[in-house]
Protein backbone atom coordinates (compact mmCIF):
# COMPACT_ATOMS: atom_id res chain seq x y z
CA UNK A 1 0.00 0.00 0.00
CA UNK A 2 1.26 3.50 -0.77
CA UNK A 3 1.00 6.22 1.84
CA UNK A 4 -2.46 7.80 1.84
CA UNK A 5 -3.04 11.51 1.28
CA UNK A 6 -6.30 11.85 3.22
CA UNK A 7 -6.66 10.40 6.72
CA UNK A 8 -9.61 10.44 9.11
CA UNK A 9 -9.16 9.93 12.86
CA UNK A 10 -12.49 8.90 14.39
CA UNK A 11 -13.50 8.41 18.03
CA UNK A 12 -15.82 5.45 18.34
CA UNK A 13 -18.23 6.30 21.15
CA UNK A 14 -19.91 9.17 22.92
CA UNK A 15 -18.11 12.47 23.36
CA UNK A 16 -16.78 13.26 26.81
CA UNK A 17 -14.29 16.08 27.18
CA UNK A 18 -12.59 14.24 30.05
CA UNK A 19 -12.37 10.94 28.18
CA UNK A 20 -8.72 10.05 27.71
CA UNK A 21 -9.49 8.35 24.40
CA UNK A 22 -10.87 11.57 22.95
CA UNK A 23 -7.81 13.49 24.18
CA UNK A 24 -5.53 10.80 22.79
CA UNK A 25 -7.25 10.84 19.38
CA UNK A 26 -6.98 14.63 19.13
CA UNK A 27 -3.28 14.53 19.99
CA UNK A 28 -2.68 11.75 17.46
CA UNK A 29 -4.52 13.63 14.72
CA UNK A 30 -2.34 16.66 15.43
CA UNK A 31 0.81 14.55 15.05
CA UNK A 32 -0.43 12.91 11.83
CA UNK A 33 -1.09 16.33 10.25
CA UNK A 34 2.65 16.84 9.85
CA UNK A 35 3.01 13.68 7.76
CA UNK A 36 -0.08 13.49 5.53
CA UNK A 37 -1.68 15.92 3.10
CA UNK A 38 -5.02 16.18 4.90
CA UNK A 39 -5.99 14.88 8.34
CA UNK A 40 -9.36 15.40 9.98
CA UNK A 41 -10.77 14.26 13.31
CA UNK A 42 -14.36 13.22 13.89
CA UNK A 43 -16.04 12.74 17.27
CA UNK A 44 -19.68 11.94 18.04
CA UNK A 45 -21.84 14.57 19.64
CA UNK A 46 -23.45 14.12 23.07
CA UNK A 47 -26.12 11.87 21.52
CA UNK A 48 -23.49 9.60 20.00
CA UNK A 49 -24.11 10.80 16.44
CA UNK A 50 -21.51 11.98 13.96
CA UNK A 51 -21.90 15.51 12.55
CA UNK A 52 -21.28 14.35 8.97
CA UNK A 53 -21.16 17.87 7.62
CA UNK A 54 -17.80 18.34 9.36
CA UNK A 55 -16.03 15.91 7.02
CA UNK A 56 -14.54 17.61 3.97
CA UNK A 57 -12.36 14.73 2.72
CA UNK A 58 -12.82 11.24 1.32
CA UNK A 59 -10.29 9.36 3.46
CA UNK A 60 -8.18 6.52 2.16
CA UNK A 61 -7.49 5.42 5.74
CA UNK A 62 -9.76 5.66 8.79
CA UNK A 63 -8.08 5.29 12.18
CA UNK A 64 -10.97 4.25 14.44
CA UNK A 65 -10.32 4.71 18.16
CA UNK A 66 -12.25 1.95 19.89
CA UNK A 67 -13.43 3.07 23.35
CA UNK A 68 -11.66 2.52 26.64
CA UNK A 69 -12.96 0.82 29.78
CA UNK A 70 -13.82 4.17 31.37
CA UNK A 71 -15.92 5.16 28.34
CA UNK A 72 -18.84 2.77 28.75
CA UNK A 73 -21.79 5.06 29.30
CA UNK A 74 -23.18 4.29 25.84
CA UNK A 75 -21.43 1.00 24.93
CA UNK A 76 -23.37 0.30 21.72
CA UNK A 77 -22.47 3.64 20.16
CA UNK A 78 -19.17 2.13 19.13
CA UNK A 79 -20.97 -0.12 16.62
CA UNK A 80 -23.24 2.66 15.42
CA UNK A 81 -20.18 4.83 14.81
CA UNK A 82 -18.22 2.09 13.07
CA UNK A 83 -21.00 1.02 10.70
CA UNK A 84 -21.84 4.63 9.93
CA UNK A 85 -18.27 5.26 8.81
CA UNK A 86 -18.10 1.99 6.84
CA UNK A 87 -21.22 3.06 4.94
CA UNK A 88 -19.87 6.55 4.28
CA UNK A 89 -16.41 5.40 3.14
CA UNK A 90 -16.73 1.85 1.75
CA UNK A 91 -13.38 1.99 -0.05
CA UNK A 92 -11.34 3.23 2.92
CA UNK A 93 -8.84 1.09 4.77
CA UNK A 94 -10.15 0.74 8.34
CA UNK A 95 -7.61 0.44 11.15
CA UNK A 96 -9.03 0.37 14.70
CA UNK A 97 -6.76 1.62 17.46
CA UNK A 98 -7.65 -0.79 20.23
CA UNK A 99 -7.27 0.38 23.82
CA UNK A 100 -7.16 -1.81 26.95
CA UNK A 101 -8.17 -5.12 25.37
CA UNK A 102 -6.29 -7.53 27.65
CA UNK A 103 -7.77 -6.02 30.83
CA UNK A 104 -11.34 -5.74 29.54
CA UNK A 105 -14.32 -7.93 30.56
CA UNK A 106 -15.45 -10.58 28.08
CA UNK A 107 -18.41 -8.61 26.69
CA UNK A 108 -16.09 -5.65 26.01
CA UNK A 109 -13.54 -7.88 24.28
CA UNK A 110 -16.35 -9.24 22.09
CA UNK A 111 -17.10 -5.74 20.81
CA UNK A 112 -13.46 -5.10 20.04
CA UNK A 113 -13.05 -8.43 18.24
CA UNK A 114 -16.11 -7.84 16.07
CA UNK A 115 -14.71 -4.48 14.98
CA UNK A 116 -11.32 -6.10 14.34
CA UNK A 117 -12.94 -8.81 12.21
CA UNK A 118 -14.37 -6.17 9.86
CA UNK A 119 -11.15 -4.14 9.63
CA UNK A 120 -8.06 -4.25 7.42
CA UNK A 121 -5.53 -4.08 10.26
CA UNK A 122 -5.21 -2.83 13.85
CA UNK A 123 -2.93 -0.83 16.13
CA UNK A 124 -2.45 -1.62 19.82
CA UNK A 125 -0.56 0.29 22.50
CA UNK A 126 0.74 -2.50 24.73
CA UNK A 127 2.62 -5.77 24.53
CA UNK A 128 -0.20 -7.51 26.45
CA UNK A 129 -2.78 -6.44 23.86
CA UNK A 130 -0.47 -7.41 20.99
CA UNK A 131 -0.09 -10.94 22.36
CA UNK A 132 -3.82 -11.25 23.07
CA UNK A 133 -4.92 -10.09 19.61
CA UNK A 134 -2.30 -11.79 17.42
CA UNK A 135 -4.44 -14.97 17.00
CA UNK A 136 -7.34 -12.86 15.74
CA UNK A 137 -5.67 -10.89 12.94
CA UNK A 138 -2.48 -11.13 10.86
CA UNK A 139 -1.84 -7.39 10.56
CA UNK A 140 -1.40 -5.80 13.97
CA UNK A 141 1.05 -3.06 14.89
CA UNK A 142 2.21 -2.53 18.45
CA UNK A 143 3.35 1.05 18.91
CA UNK A 144 3.90 2.85 22.20
CA UNK A 145 1.18 5.04 23.64
CA UNK A 146 2.26 8.66 23.51
CA UNK A 147 1.35 11.19 26.22
CA UNK A 148 -1.58 13.58 25.89
CA UNK A 149 0.44 16.13 27.89
CA UNK A 150 4.07 16.87 27.12
CA UNK A 151 6.42 19.76 27.88
CA UNK A 152 9.40 19.47 25.51
CA UNK A 153 10.63 22.97 26.41
CA UNK A 154 11.86 21.53 29.73
CA UNK A 155 14.59 19.76 27.77
CA UNK A 156 16.01 23.20 26.97
CA UNK A 157 16.96 23.56 30.64
CA UNK A 158 20.48 22.39 29.96
CA UNK A 159 21.76 22.28 33.54
CA UNK A 160 20.34 21.23 36.88
CA UNK A 161 20.85 24.78 38.15
CA UNK A 162 18.63 26.13 35.35
CA UNK A 163 16.02 23.50 36.19
CA UNK A 164 16.13 24.44 39.87
CA UNK A 165 15.68 28.17 39.12
CA UNK A 166 12.72 27.45 36.83
CA UNK A 167 11.22 25.06 39.41
CA UNK A 168 11.46 27.57 42.28
CA UNK A 169 9.94 30.36 40.19
CA UNK A 170 7.08 28.10 39.13
CA UNK A 171 6.34 27.04 42.72
CA UNK A 172 6.28 30.68 43.81
CA UNK A 173 3.77 31.47 41.07
CA UNK A 174 1.52 28.51 41.83
CA UNK A 175 1.54 29.10 45.58
CA UNK A 176 0.47 32.72 44.98
CA UNK A 177 -2.49 31.54 42.86
CA UNK A 178 -3.62 28.56 44.97
CA UNK A 179 -4.02 27.73 48.69
CA UNK A 180 -0.51 26.28 48.87
CA UNK A 181 2.70 27.22 50.66
CA UNK A 182 6.11 26.97 49.01
CA UNK A 183 7.63 25.45 52.15
CA UNK A 184 5.05 22.63 52.21
CA UNK A 185 5.68 19.28 50.58
CA UNK A 186 3.27 18.87 47.66
CA UNK A 187 2.11 15.32 46.94
CA UNK A 188 0.18 15.33 43.69
CA UNK A 189 -2.30 12.75 42.44
CA UNK A 190 -3.18 13.44 38.76
CA UNK A 191 -5.98 11.78 36.80
CA UNK A 192 -9.57 10.60 36.90
CA UNK A 193 -11.00 9.90 40.35
CA UNK A 194 -12.02 6.31 39.57
CA UNK A 195 -11.80 3.06 41.46
CA UNK A 196 -8.78 1.48 39.77
CA UNK A 197 -6.37 4.34 40.46
CA UNK A 198 -5.35 3.45 44.02
CA UNK A 199 -7.14 6.28 45.79
CA UNK A 200 -8.10 3.93 48.61
CA UNK A 201 -4.39 3.44 49.24
CA UNK A 202 -3.95 7.20 49.53
CA UNK A 203 -6.82 7.26 51.99
CA UNK A 204 -5.27 4.51 54.12
CA UNK A 205 -1.87 6.19 54.38
CA UNK A 206 -3.25 9.74 54.73
CA UNK A 207 -3.41 9.36 58.51
CA UNK A 208 0.41 9.13 58.52
CA UNK A 209 0.90 12.42 56.65
CA UNK A 210 1.97 15.37 58.75
CA UNK A 211 0.67 18.94 58.61
CA UNK A 212 3.55 20.10 56.43
CA UNK A 213 2.39 17.90 53.55
CA UNK A 214 -0.30 19.02 51.12
CA UNK A 215 -2.15 16.35 49.14
CA UNK A 216 -3.30 17.78 45.80
CA UNK A 217 -5.94 15.87 43.82
CA UNK A 218 -5.81 17.17 40.27
CA UNK A 219 -8.06 15.80 37.56
CA UNK A 220 -11.69 15.11 36.84
CA UNK A 221 -14.68 13.00 37.79
CA UNK A 222 -15.70 10.17 35.47
CA UNK A 223 -18.79 10.43 33.22
CA UNK A 224 -20.99 7.82 34.88
CA UNK A 225 -23.18 8.35 37.93
CA UNK A 226 -21.23 5.77 39.93
CA UNK A 227 -18.00 7.64 39.06
CA UNK A 228 -19.45 10.85 40.47
CA UNK A 229 -20.66 9.07 43.60
CA UNK A 230 -17.25 7.44 44.14
CA UNK A 231 -15.33 10.70 43.60
CA UNK A 232 -17.56 12.54 46.08
CA UNK A 233 -17.05 9.77 48.64
CA UNK A 234 -13.26 9.54 48.31
CA UNK A 235 -12.74 13.31 48.45
CA UNK A 236 -15.03 13.55 51.48
CA UNK A 237 -13.15 10.76 53.30
CA UNK A 238 -9.77 12.34 52.58
CA UNK A 239 -11.01 15.70 53.82
CA UNK A 240 -12.13 14.09 57.09
CA UNK A 241 -8.57 12.89 57.72
CA UNK A 242 -6.53 15.71 56.21
CA UNK A 243 -8.72 18.78 56.71
CA UNK A 244 -6.98 21.79 55.17
CA UNK A 245 -4.07 19.61 54.04
CA UNK A 246 -5.96 18.48 50.95
CA UNK A 247 -6.64 20.55 47.82
CA UNK A 248 -8.93 19.32 45.02
CA UNK A 249 -8.23 21.03 41.70
CA UNK A 250 -10.92 19.81 39.30
CA UNK A 251 -10.50 19.78 35.51
CA UNK A 252 -7.53 22.17 35.26
CA UNK A 253 -6.29 23.49 31.93
CA UNK A 254 -3.52 21.57 30.17
CA UNK A 255 -1.06 24.35 30.99
CA UNK A 256 -1.85 24.26 34.70
CA UNK A 257 -1.77 20.45 34.67
CA UNK A 258 1.75 20.47 33.22
CA UNK A 259 2.94 23.10 35.69
CA UNK A 260 1.78 21.11 38.70
CA UNK A 261 3.31 17.88 37.38
CA UNK A 262 6.71 19.57 37.29
CA UNK A 263 6.34 21.69 40.44
CA UNK A 264 5.07 18.98 42.82
CA UNK A 265 7.55 17.42 45.24
CA UNK A 266 6.19 13.99 44.34
CA UNK A 267 3.64 12.82 41.75
CA UNK A 268 1.96 9.71 43.15
CA UNK A 269 0.29 7.18 40.83
CA UNK A 270 -0.72 4.22 43.06
CA UNK A 271 -2.55 2.09 40.46
CA UNK A 272 -4.34 -0.95 41.91
CA UNK A 273 -2.87 -3.26 39.25
CA UNK A 274 0.44 -1.45 38.85
CA UNK A 275 1.61 0.92 36.16
CA UNK A 276 1.47 -0.33 32.57
CA UNK A 277 2.01 0.91 29.02
CA UNK A 278 -1.60 2.04 28.72
CA UNK A 279 -1.44 4.52 31.62
CA UNK A 280 -1.46 7.90 29.88
CA UNK A 281 -1.34 9.72 33.24
CA UNK A 282 2.05 8.10 33.93
CA UNK A 283 3.38 8.95 30.47
CA UNK A 284 2.19 12.55 30.79
CA UNK A 285 3.82 12.87 34.21
CA UNK A 286 7.17 11.67 32.87
CA UNK A 287 6.83 13.95 29.84
CA UNK A 288 6.38 16.95 32.13
CA UNK A 289 9.43 16.27 34.28
CA UNK A 290 7.64 14.83 37.30
CA UNK A 291 9.40 13.33 40.28
CA UNK A 292 7.31 10.17 40.13
CA UNK A 293 6.20 7.39 42.47
CA UNK A 294 4.09 4.44 41.36
CA UNK A 295 3.16 0.82 41.95
CA UNK A 296 4.40 -1.97 39.70
CA UNK A 297 2.64 -5.18 38.65
CA UNK A 298 2.74 -7.94 36.06
CA UNK A 299 2.23 -5.54 33.13
CA UNK A 300 4.90 -3.02 34.15
CA UNK A 301 8.02 -4.61 32.65
CA UNK A 302 7.65 -3.34 29.02
CA UNK A 303 8.01 0.23 30.34
CA UNK A 304 11.63 -0.47 31.38
CA UNK A 305 11.32 1.56 34.57
CA UNK A 306 14.98 0.90 35.34
CA UNK A 307 15.72 3.57 32.72
CA UNK A 308 13.71 6.18 34.64
CA UNK A 309 14.12 7.92 37.98
CA UNK A 310 10.78 6.66 39.25
CA UNK A 311 10.29 5.46 42.82
CA UNK A 312 8.18 2.31 42.98
CA UNK A 313 6.85 -0.50 45.17
CA UNK A 314 5.04 -3.70 44.28
CA UNK A 315 1.27 -3.29 44.02
CA UNK A 316 0.94 -5.87 46.83
CA UNK A 317 3.07 -3.81 49.25
CA UNK A 318 1.68 -3.16 52.73
CA UNK A 319 0.56 0.31 53.73
CA UNK A 320 3.61 0.75 55.96
CA UNK A 321 5.98 -0.12 53.08
CA UNK A 322 4.11 2.29 50.80
CA UNK A 323 4.31 5.12 53.32
CA UNK A 324 8.00 4.47 54.02
CA UNK A 325 8.74 4.56 50.28
CA UNK A 326 6.82 7.83 49.79
CA UNK A 327 8.52 9.34 52.83
CA UNK A 328 11.94 8.34 51.47
CA UNK A 329 11.12 9.97 48.13
CA UNK A 330 10.02 13.19 49.83
CA UNK A 331 13.25 13.32 51.87
CA UNK A 332 15.52 12.77 48.86
CA UNK A 333 18.44 15.14 48.34
CA UNK A 334 17.24 18.03 46.08
CA UNK A 335 20.11 17.48 43.65
CA UNK A 336 19.08 13.83 43.28
CA UNK A 337 15.46 14.88 42.69
CA UNK A 338 16.44 17.13 39.78
CA UNK A 339 18.58 14.34 38.34
CA UNK A 340 15.54 12.07 38.47
CA UNK A 341 13.36 14.70 36.77
CA UNK A 342 15.93 15.03 34.01
CA UNK A 343 16.16 11.25 33.63
CA UNK A 344 12.37 10.94 33.37
CA UNK A 345 12.24 13.62 30.69
CA UNK A 346 14.93 11.87 28.65
CA UNK A 347 13.07 8.55 28.97
CA UNK A 348 9.84 10.20 27.83
CA UNK A 349 11.40 11.40 24.56
CA UNK A 350 11.36 7.75 23.42
CA UNK A 351 7.55 7.87 23.68
CA UNK A 352 7.12 10.85 21.37
CA UNK A 353 4.31 11.30 18.87
CA UNK A 354 6.91 11.61 16.13
CA UNK A 355 8.23 8.11 16.89
CA UNK A 356 4.71 6.69 16.94
CA UNK A 357 3.78 8.27 13.59
CA UNK A 358 7.01 6.89 12.12
CA UNK A 359 5.89 3.38 13.18
CA UNK A 360 2.45 3.95 11.65
CA UNK A 361 3.86 5.12 8.32
CA UNK A 362 6.04 2.03 8.01
CA UNK A 363 3.06 -0.15 8.93
CA UNK A 364 0.87 1.42 6.22
CA UNK A 365 3.53 0.91 3.57
CA UNK A 366 3.64 -2.81 4.38
CA UNK A 367 -0.12 -3.41 4.27
d(CA 183, CA 178): 14
Which pLDDT score, from 0 to 100, does residue 317 have? 95
Which pLDDT score, from 0 to 100, does residue 1 have? 87
Q: Spell out the SS3 assignment of the chain.
A: CCCCCEEEEEECCCCCCCCHHHHHHHHHHHHHCCCCCEEEEECCCCCCCCCHHHCCCCCCEEEEECCCCCCCCCCCHHHHHHHHHHHHCCCCEEEEEECCCCCCCHHHHHHHHHHHHCCCCEEECCHHHHHHHHHHCCCEEECCCCCCCCCHHHHHCCCHHHHHHHHHHHHHHHHHHCCCCCCCEEEEEEEECCCCCCHHHHHHHHHHCCCCEEEEEEEECCCCHHHHHHHHHHHHHHHHHHHHHEEEEECCCHHHHHHHHHHCCEEEECCCCCECCCCHHHHHHHHCCCCEEEEECCCCHHHCHHHCCCEEEECCCCHHHHHHHHHHHHCCCHHHHHHHHHHHHHHHHHHCHHHHHHHHHHHHHCC
Contact 298, 306 (CB under 8 A): no
At 196-241, the pLDDT tens digits run 899 999 999 888 887 789 999 998 887 778 888 999 999 999 999 9
Which pLDDT score, from 0 to 100, does residue 297 have? 96
Which pLDDT score, from 0 to 100, does residue 42 have? 87
Q: Do the bridges between strand 246-250 and strand 311-314 make them parallel or antiparallel, or are there none, so unpaired?
A: unpaired
Q: Which segments in the chain show pLDDT lower than 50?
A: 18
Which pLDDT score, from 0 to 100, does residue 23 have? 80
Domains (range + CATH), the chain: 6-146+352-365 (3.40.50.2000), 152-350 (3.40.50.2000)
Which pLDDT score, from 0 to 100, does residue 359 have? 96
Which pLDDT score, from 0 to 100, does residue 39 have? 96
Which pLDDT score, from 0 to 100, does residue 136 have? 95
Amino acid sequence: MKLPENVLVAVGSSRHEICSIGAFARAEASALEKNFKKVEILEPNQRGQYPHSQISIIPEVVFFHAPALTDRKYPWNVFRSFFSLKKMFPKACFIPIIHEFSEAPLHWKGRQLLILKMSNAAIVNTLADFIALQPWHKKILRSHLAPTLFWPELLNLSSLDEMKIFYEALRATLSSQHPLLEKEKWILYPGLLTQDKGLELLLRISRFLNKKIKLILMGAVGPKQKDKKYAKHIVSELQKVLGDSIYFLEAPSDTLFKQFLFAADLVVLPYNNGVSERRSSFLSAMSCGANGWTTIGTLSSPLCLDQTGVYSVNKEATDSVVFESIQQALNENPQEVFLKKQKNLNWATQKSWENRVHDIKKFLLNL
